[in-house]
Amino acid sequence: MAITLPPLPYADAALEPSISATTLQTHHGKHHKAYVDKTNAAIEGTDLADKSLEEIVAAAEAKGDKGLFNNAAQSWNHAFYWNSLTPSSAEPTGELAAAVAGSFGSIDRLREELASQGAAHFASGWVWLVARGDKLTVEQTHDAATFATGDAKPLLVIDLWEHAYYLDHKNLRPEYLKAVIEKHLNWNFAAENFGREGTWTYPA
């Protein structure tokens, strides 16, 4: 069964002006689609053809197949990123809010950490909010590296590759981060991930 390109969970223009419809159309319809298409081409006719995307990512990493890993992991990271965003952000509540307070002191301090690490990240990658047990941390990954597999549980992610923001903010990554962190992080999605048994899975 081929890996599919999931639709965006909101309209192309829903995140404007922070992220334009043009950026989403290009980022989702071209970049994400290309990762999915290349993953499907690489697994066609192999023992991975009927596996989940998470299984494909793990197998590619175990085999040292860099090309397959990059495309499969980027397919997963992008789907997780779309869900990490929302047209209208609300403050975290309940158990997630308690975990934020216990790990960072306040939601404002967490936002500052996301902005700081996202701005400081060199070249392409991702900045994540991750749960390790009851402890929340902000962590960076380079290029296609992912939390799709492993013991840490990803709650939210922000794409730091230039194609995520260059059409709207040019080279001003901090401006993009400020807009996303203040207005568009999906704390309901983060709460669902915090409360679930395992890690979010890519839609079949």
Tens-place pLDDT, residues 125-158: 999 999 999 899 999 999 999 999 998 999 999 9
CA distance 72 to 34: 10
**1 has a pLDDT exceeding 80:** no
Mean pLDDT of 29-38: 98
Q: What is the pTM of this model?
A: 0.97
Contact by Cβ (8 Å): 147, 81: no
pLDDT bin (cut points 50, 70, 90) of residue 196 is very high
Q: 21 CB contacts (<8 Å, ≥6 apart)?
A: 11, 12, 13
The structure tokens listed for 33 are 């689609």
Tracing tokens 């290029």 back to the chain, one arrives at 143
CA distance 19 to 175: 11
pLDDT bin (cut points 50, 70, 90) of residue 124 is very high
CA distance 16 to 18: 5
